[in-house]
Amino acid sequence: MNTAKILRALANGINPDTGELLTHSSVAHTPEMIRMLFALSDELMGQPEKNKKTKLSPLEREQKNIAEGKPAKSYFPWAEEEKKQLEKEYAAGKAVEQLSAGLGRSVRAVAIQLEKMGLITAEQLIGYS
């Protein structure tokens, strides 16, 4: 139960934990407290929930990465087409640095993918750390 609903339940004279009515001797039964609880509840209900991040589109994520000085495709999953392109260009003799620039990935990300594909060894991967 969120805070606004808890306050509204108290203002209505209901224990939010048990659902039972509060005793008449409860401080929540005074007119001032009831008004204050309803006002607080209304105030909280009018506010948007915090900590909700807006989901960026792939293009917006790329632009954000570039603005932060990262390669455009940082933290993007590898598409099958990209993997095929990487394999083809690596087999053609392109350097990892050239591949990273062309794919919008970091040198390390390209090296890790090459190692996953079995095109370089773990020892070679360490050289790109």
19-43 residue pLDDT tens: 888 888 888 878 888 888 888 888 8
pLDDT for 49 = 59
Q: Model's pTM, two decimal places?
A: 0.58
Report helix, strand or coil for 14: strand
Write out the DSSP string of 79-104.
PHHHHHHHHHHHHTT--HHHHHHHHT
Place of tokens 């090296």: 111
Contacting residues for 122 by C-beta, under 8 A, at least 6 apart: 115
Quickly tell me which residue has 């203002």 as its tokens: 11
Amino acid, res. 81: E
**Which residues contact residue 45 at a Cβ distance below 8 angstroms, ignoring those fewer than 6 apart?**
4
pLDDT of 27 reads: 81
What structural domains and CATH numbers belong to the chain?
3-46 (no CATH), 58-126 (1.10.10)
Q: Over the stretch 70-85, which tens digit does the pLDDT of each residue have?
A: 999 999 999 999 999 9
Q: Which of 34, 35, 38 is nearest to 22 (CA)?
A: 34
| Residue bearing the bigger pLDDT, 43 or 111 | 111
